[in-house]
Structure 1
Amino acid sequence: MEEAPLLVMEESTSEADYMAVKSFKDVKFVLRIETVKLWKIAAPMALSSLFNFLTISSLNIYAGHLGDIVLSSISLYFGVISAIYFTLLVGMSSALATLCGQAYGAGQIQSTGIYVQRSWIVLVMTCIILLPTHIYATEILKFLGQDKEIANLAGKYAMQVIPTMFSYAIGFPIQRFLQAQSKVNVIMFISLVSLILQNLLLYIFIYAMELGTTGLAMANNITCWFMALSLVVYVAGWCKEGWSGFSWLAFKDLWPFTWLSLSLSLMNCLEQWNGTFIVLLAGQLDNPTISLASYNICFNVCGWYTMLMLGVNTAISVRISNTLGMSHPRAAKYSFYVTMSQSLFIGILFLIFVLLSKEHLALIFTNSEDMIRAVCDLAYLLAVAILLSSLSQVISGVAIGSGWQVMVGYINLACHYIVGLSLGYFLGFNKHLGVKGLWGGTMCGSIIQIFVLIVIIWKTNWTKQVEQTANRMRIWGSKNFQKDMI
């Protein structure tokens, strides 16, 4: 008797869903197919995410060579002020990732251009509301107990990089739009050009013109707007699928879309702002300069790895949302299994690398012997953080692709804040373990969060998720736009 095929075709789709895996041969087949689909998106997105993060890291590197106080001030800005708006904008744009990915999978591509324009409006208005966080940054940081000299310099820098905040409001929705359609190579290319441009500008502004922190801000503003406008030009000129020009329909249902964006940002904000609290608490330790800067160096190193994993995050998010939109529950489930196993393997390799090179990690940022020793002391926590990032990025991608951000947000609140921060504060201040205690305690919350979410995903009924996706498309899909245009 002939063996049943592993794939079965669905009507109205160009891709097939899997049948149940029953043998090792089936496992190899799914592994091969899903690996190709994963890394076709993950590889360019990992590189583009890494290039984007390196634009921030290059600012920290140049700041570090301007002095420990400058590095601590820039660290404080990125750890607190920037984290507030950046995390919120990324989280709100995740609504676009869910809607665009599922609409693309369901064949409702014409809806995605309207989603982008709505997201622009919502994100720009959000930036306007958040302007006081930059205008009064110095006062806010001092009120939060930060060192006056560090807070003054961080507040000055915050005023100078206000244009950067607005560039993200334009750039993030366009990136989500392209990612949903797996058009990620252009994002990678523009990110690389932006990184090269920023380093050229930094060299000119810092060494040739000696502009100090003003030079850092100018380079950052120019680079971020170059990337945002380049993406807009590409979509308007060469990406006709899903983009039919500007439309007044973008202003329709603006409040429901705003509420959807805010609610779906809950997961990302609660997870990422956890790091902001670590920075604020580190700034109140006995030696805030060393504490802030050493944690920032570790954060940057972990950030390089996390940006690589963000490519995996994007890939699994696109894959999950597309398969749910195409009504392929098994493909969604199997893609998670494959992605999680490969991500975990990569995390273990990088963990080993960090432990072997712990005495040399800080040399990229500083020549200070005290700082090098402090970073070396944190290297074991950095290694664990990298492994946890491997798992959390996959879980986050599944949540975005499925539209679970609100549910995961409540889990993050319990794990990161009620457990993690409380334990971190106890270890850091009561047990006098400093930044090591702060960071280690919050990691305990991350471990609990990852365990809970893995159990939830393992028990998920993916057929029911397909039904929920179909309902979401009925509410937000292109048929509603067509009715409005009649």
Structure 2
Amino acid sequence: MFSGSFLNANDQSDAIAEVGQIYSRGLLPQLIAFTLYYPMQRFLKAQNIINPMAIIVVAVLLFHILISWLAVFVLDFGLLGASITLSISWWVLVLSTCLYIILSPSCRATWTDLSVKAFTDICLFFKLTVSSTIMLILEIWHVQGFVLITGYLLNPEISLNVISICVRIVNELEAAYPRVAKFAVLVMVTTNLILSLIISVLVLILRTLLSKLYTNNH
């Protein structure tokens, strides 16, 4: 809510502070949605209910693409519209996942209803939550810190674009070699896909061995 003042206090330009303030205000509802979704995600993962969760995520992603296009390009809501649609999509994800947990037969044995028993040993749960929260905050700040640092550079917009895509691609475009830049993008995407497939196959093959690393039950 006060990101504009925070950015100004860190010697960021007025233009960056203004758009940062607008965008961050639209993301405020997303914070609550993320807080609600994270426990539900863990609840489903603990039961190995992966496919339904993945289907819900893909459906929400397609929904988000649609409403983002409508908000930004059709209704011309600009930056605020882009951030608000992200919050809306997160709340759709939360509601969809919640309905699945309540209505799905897969969760009938594990989800009965709200109960005061959920607050049993809440102090122990709170200790685990604090450490997990700190790790998550540091992970997010690690990424956002680079974005914040770019504001101190001579041309922050170009610097941020470099971080967002690739230094190699930017260099080729500046040298007026669009075909080489296109080839660099193709190589990068192909390499990422191949590595992702290899790692996924290895995880599937070694899933039994890897699972033993996280439990004492053999």
The TM tier, using the shorter chain, reads 0.7 to 0.9
Assess, with a 3 A threshold, how the Cα gap between structure 1 residues 198 and 272 changes in structure 2: closer, same or farther: closer
Assess, with a 3 A threshold, how the Cα gap between structure 1 residues 176 and 289 changes in structure 2: closer, same or farther: same
Aligned partner of 2:29 among 141, 151, 163: 163
Deviation at 1:271, TM superposition (A): 4.1
Q: Which residue of 2 aligns with 1:213?
A: 79
Output the CA distance in 2 between the equivalents of 1:212 and 1:271. 28
Output the CA distance in 2 between the equivalents of 1:149 and 1:208. 25
Identical positions, percent: 26
After superposition, the C-alpha distances for 1:295-315 in whole angstroms (9 at most, x for unaligned) are 1235xxxxxxxxxxxxxxxxx
After superposition, the C-alpha distances for 1:43-82 in whole angstroms (9 at most, x for unaligned) are xxxxxxxxxxxxxxxxxxxxxxxxxxxxxxxxxxxxxxxx
Letter aligned with residue 251 of structure 1: F
Assess, with a 3 A threshold, how the Cα gap between structure 1 residues 250 and 157 changes in structure 2: closer, same or farther: same
Contact 1:144 1:280 in 2 (8 A): no
After superposition, the C-alpha distances for 1:327-369 in whole angstroms (9 at most, x for unaligned) are xxxxxxxxxxxxxxxxxxxxxxxxxxxx9xx649x9xxxxxx5
Letter aligned with residue 260 of structure 1: L
Assess, with a 3 A threshold, how the Cα gap between structure 1 residues 276 and 359 changes in structure 2: closer, same or farther: closer
Letter aligned with residue 83 of structure 2: A
Contact 2:72 2:81 in 1 (8 A): yes
Output the CA distance in 2 between the equivalents of 1:223 and 1:272. 20
Q: Which residue of 1 aligns with 2:52?
A: 186
Letter aligned with residue 147 of structure 2: V
Q: Following superposition, which runs of at least 4 residues in structure 1 exceed 6 angstroms of deviation? A: none
Q: Which residue of 2 aligns with 1:173?
A: 39
TM-score normalised by length of structure 1: 0.35
Letter aligned with residue 242 of structure 1: T
**1:244 partnered with 2:108:** no
SS at match of 1:210: coil
SS at match of 1:466: coil
Matches within 5 A, 1:314-393: 359=169
Contact 1:147 1:288 in 2 (8 A): no
Output the CA distance in 1 between the equivalents of 2:4 and 2:77. 21
**1:282 partnered with 2:32:** no
**1:147 partnered with 2:13:** yes
Matches within 5 A, 1:44-443: 135-238=1-104, 239-298=107-166, 359=169
Letter aligned with residue 213 of structure 1: L
RMSD of aligned residue pairs (Cα, Å) = 3.4
Assess, with a 3 A threshold, how the Cα gap between structure 1 residues 462 and 197 changes in structure 2: closer, same or farther: closer
Contact 2:3 2:21 in 1 (8 A): yes
Output the CA distance in 1 between the equivalents of 2:76 and 2:139. 38
Q: Which 5+ residue runs of structure 1 have no aligned equivalent? A: 1-134, 299-354, 363-368, 398-460, 468-486
Deviation at 1:269, TM superposition (A): 3.7
Contact 2:3 2:20 in 1 (8 A): yes
Q: Which 5+ residue runs of structure 2 have no aligned equivalent? A: 204-211
Output the CA distance in 1 between the equivalents of 2:140 and 2:88. 26
Contact 2:71 2:78 in 1 (8 A): yes
Deviation at 1:272, TM superposition (A): 4.2
Deviation at 1:217, TM superposition (A): 2.3
Deviation at 1:171, TM superposition (A): 1.1
Contact 2:23 2:83 in 1 (8 A): yes
TM-score normalised by length of structure 2: 0.73
Deviation at 1:246, TM superposition (A): 0.6
Output the CA distance in 1 between the equivalents of 2:30 and 2:149. 26
